[in-house]
Structure 1
């Protein structure tokens, strides 16, 4: 099963996958700046950005600007140049990435690393607002930030969220444990979080990564993914090939996870979660747990004129009602404003999401839908007064 899954994941799929390069060329520059805001001192990093041409020190591409800022944090004894491929990939998908190059020694200061990361994200915003800067106009301001960390960098996320409330989406790759107050910070974090663990990681074992998921009990969305046959360093530019999962496939798994998570949590593209849970491009060689107090609905990647695969995610023990319509509308409900006009649609009977808190199934389409756009939405609820609506999903039917 693992070998066939890997072959399928590495092979070309019918549609554009998150791990494929995005529409932008990726440029990068080495930067060093004196922090003027948080006492971080001199911060060194690489900036990966949408560019007019791929490569070092190329001109920025303002055609899609401003772009969402994202921080990337290396692990113990690592450095920014080990995560260039991840940074460039995210830049190709329209993100402005600051790839930290501090705390590289044998005895790193984790709280200081968090301050460096906060300062780096702020620096992106400040430089974007400076007409004289090469980054002028490149960063979105006044928006939530995202941060991604590997190993020690993943553990440092718990310190970053304790000092910077604008960080609302975090992704830990084989995230190591962290000193206080990191664990306590995670127990109070209310944003979105995804943790990736490798089943054969003997540096940060699965159980250690899983503890971050368990601590994050009040997040609006949390997911934990264990990848079969993956070790500790699959996210690096040159991952090892001495594990059951080949190194290049380990990297593609990370590219998929990072891209779909940022697209969903920063851009509101919840449908991207289909690439995590629905075996798109081949059987996925991973298992996952999830808890979504802010529910989500996905569908569309496996679409024909006759049927489509849909998934709804909520909290354990919740129920869902799935709705469709050929027209948008606005209706007040106990769970918020419904975006569908049900005079042109219908509701399904309530369905239990069970202990896992999510479910997926195929929905058959009537022939009259072919060539039209149909809108979908779901309500996820524990009882008559405790629930929420997903974002609506718009699908052109072939």
Structure 2
């Protein structure tokens, strides 16, 4: 091999490596286009008592009391609950991360002592949303007309995760729930899961010894309605969702940086889909882009597609048909729209929208395709996507390969 060819080979190898590393770093795990600002606020309860909270927001500079950036307003908002005996500041990096992606995040400091009331904490988590509504309607406030008040999200870690479940079950203003290692509470967060009728994402860690998945997240998932997700970070631990370990923390088998990167990726994708109606995030929530070597997930979108994968014999120039069966696995009647993504040939779908299906009722969707010439096996894959017409966001996917 000549010296020039050797240099070229080394260069191409380095480029391929760099591209592979870059591909592994999902943009949603990285900071967004805004800088993160935050400030302390005082929230007044209905009985005129008060509590403090932190408000994180898109800013033009980073840090406490940084100038607010209204360039992308109005922004959706998320209310967040801290863990038992934990300060809001221990979640600083993740809450700031959401702010960089164009969210307000409001996190109550209340119920941080040794004997917290879980219901009172849930009430304060809800009251934070009332604060944002009031500020959004106040012409003298810097938040005047800056908040999307029609779609609030809820989140929290450990005790705060359980309290966020209580809050979501009690408050119809919350349209999406994604929490971190949610713990059982009193009253029971697990018991109220059937009362929640919004998308739920129960992020957990497989090495969590404080709030084990089997006795917490799994039971919450089992009792919940669709759409619901239980992503488990492999090797993730309870305190790995925080910026640093405190007294009594456990340990995991991955680094904190790895766990927080996966956490931020999944939180941002989920809230982008359900609070911003960003359909480009659907595959990161319901499709092949959720799971990786560090994340295994149980999912039930309420839309079952059968078969999930199929190989179809499609000779060149010969019209070919294939079909899938969709079944409503949700708790309410619904209809669905049908799409074929990543297609290389014209595909005719019949019907393009299903009739209204009752729970456990099915419909057959037929596809007709004709390949015009042979192509590489890498170009034969098609993705069938079935989207709920209830929210126009939740999807399920199936893979079809033409041969």
Q: Does 1:257 align with 2:266?
A: yes
Q: Does 1:172 align with 2:188?
A: no
Structure 2 equivalent of residue 231 of structure 1: 237
Following TM superposition, by how much is the alpha carbon of 1:15 offset from its aligned partner in structure 2, in angstroms? 7.4
Report the Cα distance in structure 2 between the residues aligned to 1:333 and 1:279, rounded to whole angstroms.
23
Specify whether residues 362 and 39 from structure 1 end up closer, same or farther in structure 2 by C-alpha distance, changes over 3 A only.
Answer: farther
Following TM superposition, by how much is the alpha carbon of 1:146 offset from its aligned partner in structure 2, in angstroms? 0.6
Q: Given that residues 321 and 347 in structure 1 are in contact (C-alpha distance below 8 angstroms), is that contact kept between their aligned partners in structure 2?
A: no
Report the Cα distance in structure 2 between the residues aligned to 1:253 and 1:177, rounded to whole angstroms.
23
Structure 2 equivalent of residue 85 of structure 1: 93
Q: Given that residues 321 and 379 in structure 1 are in contact (C-alpha distance below 8 angstroms), is that contact kept between their aligned partners in structure 2?
A: yes
Report the Cα distance in structure 1 between the residues aligned to 2:25 and 2:300, rounded to whole angstroms.
28
Q: 1:22 aligns with which of 32, 36, 39?
A: 32
**What do the CA deviations read for 1:171-209 (whole angstroms, capped 9, x no partner)?**
121111122353332112111000112111110001121
Report the Cα distance in structure 1 between the residues aligned to 2:60 and 2:327, rounded to whole angstroms.
41
**What do the CA deviations read for 1:203-257 (whole angstroms, capped 9, x no partner)?**
00011211110110x33x1000111111101221225894211111111111111
**What do the CA deviations read for 1:121-169 (whole angstroms, capped 9, x no partner)?**
110121122122232232113x121101100011112321232111121
Following TM superposition, by how much is the alpha carbon of 1:97 offset from its aligned partner in structure 2, in angstroms? 0.7
Structure 1 equivalent of residue 319 of structure 2: none
Following TM superposition, by how much is the alpha carbon of 1:74 offset from its aligned partner in structure 2, in angstroms? 0.7
Structure 2 equivalent of residue 155 of structure 1: 162
SS in 2 for 1:18: helix
Specify whether residues 313 and 186 from structure 1 end up closer, same or farther in structure 2 by C-alpha distance, changes over 3 A only.
Answer: farther
Q: Given that residues 158 and 178 in structure 1 are in contact (C-alpha distance below 8 angstroms), is that contact kept between their aligned partners in structure 2?
A: no
SS in 2 for 1:13: helix
Q: TM-score, normalised by structure 1?
A: 0.72
Structure 2 equivalent of residue 203 of structure 1: 210
Report the Cα distance in structure 2 between the residues aligned to 1:223 and 1:11, rounded to whole angstroms.
27
Q: TM-score, normalised by structure 2?
A: 0.71
Q: 1:76 aligns with which of 78, 81, 84?
A: 84
Q: Given that residues 38 and 63 in structure 2 are in contact (C-alpha distance below 8 angstroms), is that contact kept between their aligned partners in structure 1?
A: yes
SS in 2 for 1:61: coil
SS in 2 for 1:182: coil
Structure 2 equivalent of residue 13 of structure 1: 23
After TM superposition, the structure 1 = structure 2 runs for residues 320-335 of structure 1, keeping only pairs within 5 Å, are 322-323=339-340, 333-335=353-355
Structure 1 equivalent of residue 367 of structure 2: 348
Q: 2:50 aligns with which of 27, 42, 55?
A: 42
SS in 1 for 2:191: helix
Task: Say which one has the larger Rg.
Answer: 2
Count of residue pairs the alignment pairs up: 330
Specify whether residues 391 and 263 from structure 1 end up closer, same or farther in structure 2 by C-alpha distance, changes over 3 A only.
Answer: closer
Q: Given that residues 292 and 313 in structure 1 are in contact (C-alpha distance below 8 angstroms), is that contact kept between their aligned partners in structure 2?
A: no
Specify whether residues 322 and 134 from structure 1 end up closer, same or farther in structure 2 by C-alpha distance, changes over 3 A only.
Answer: closer
Report the Cα distance in structure 1 between the residues aligned to 2:203 and 2:156, rounded to whole angstroms.
11
Report the Cα distance in structure 2 between the residues aligned to 1:138 and 1:283, rounded to whole angstroms.
36
Q: Does 1:56 align with 2:72?
A: no
**What do the CA deviations read for 1:325-369 (whole angstroms, capped 9, x no partner)?**
989xxx984447xxxxxxxxx9637xxxxxxxxxxx986389xxx
Following TM superposition, by how much is the alpha carbon of 1:118 offset from its aligned partner in structure 2, in angstroms? 0.8
CA RMSD of aligned residues (A): 3.9
Q: 1:184 aligns with which of 182, 191, 196?
A: 191
Specify whether residues 277 and 229 from structure 1 end up closer, same or farther in structure 2 by C-alpha distance, changes over 3 A only.
Answer: farther
Q: Does 1:31 align with 2:47?
A: no
Structure 2 equivalent of residue 272 of structure 1: 281
Report the Cα distance in structure 2 between the residues aligned to 1:192 and 1:236, rounded to whole angstroms.
24
**What do the CA deviations read for 1:60-85 (whole angstroms, capped 9, x no partner)?**
11111111011111110112111111
